[in-house]
Amino acid sequence: MGRTHLSLGSVTILHAIASGSRFGFDIMAATGLTSGTVYPTLDRLEQLGLVRSHWEDEAAAHAEGRPARRYFALTARGAVALQAALERCRWLRPVRIDPATLEPEGRS
C-alpha cells in the first residue's frame, strides 16, 4: 500500500486518539465531528492499519451496568502518518506520543 493521503477528518480523529480520547463517544466530543463521520472514518483508519480497536471486557462493563466500549489506539504506522499529517496541519497542537502505548500491527 502506497502513501495514503489522509483527509482532515481522519487527521483530526487520529489526533484526538493520540491525545487520549479512546472511544467513539470521546472522539466525537473532542473533535466536534458527527457520528456519521467519526465511525466510518474509524473503520477506514482501521482498514488502513493506522488504528486498532478492541472491546473492553464485557463482564466488567456489565458489572457497572453499562454497555461495553470499543477502544481505539494508534498503531506505529498510524503514529507516523499522524506526524506526517501534522507537518501539513501546523495549526494542530503537537503531541508527545509515548512509544509504550503503541499497539502492534495487524488485524485483531
Which of 71, 74, 69 minimizes the C-alpha distance to 15? 74
Question: Taking the complex as a whole, how short is the minimal distance between the CB of residue 80 and another protein, in angstroms?
Answer: 23
Contact 46, 4 (CB under 8 A): no
Q: How many CB atoms sit inside 10 A of residue 79's CB?
A: 19
Amino acid residing at 46: E
Question: Taking the complex as a whole, how short is the minimal distance between the CB of residue 34 and another protein, in angstroms?
Answer: 6
The grid coordinates of residue 4 equal 495514503
Q: Interface with another protein includes 25 (CB under 8 A)?
A: yes
Question: Taking the complex as a whole, how short is the minimal distance between the CB of residue 48 and another protein, in angstroms?
Answer: 11
Residues 42-61: x where in contact with another protein by CB under 8 A, - otherwise, as a string: -xx--x-------x------
Q: Which residues bind another protein (CB under 8 A)?
A: 24-25, 34-40, 43-44, 47, 55, 66-70
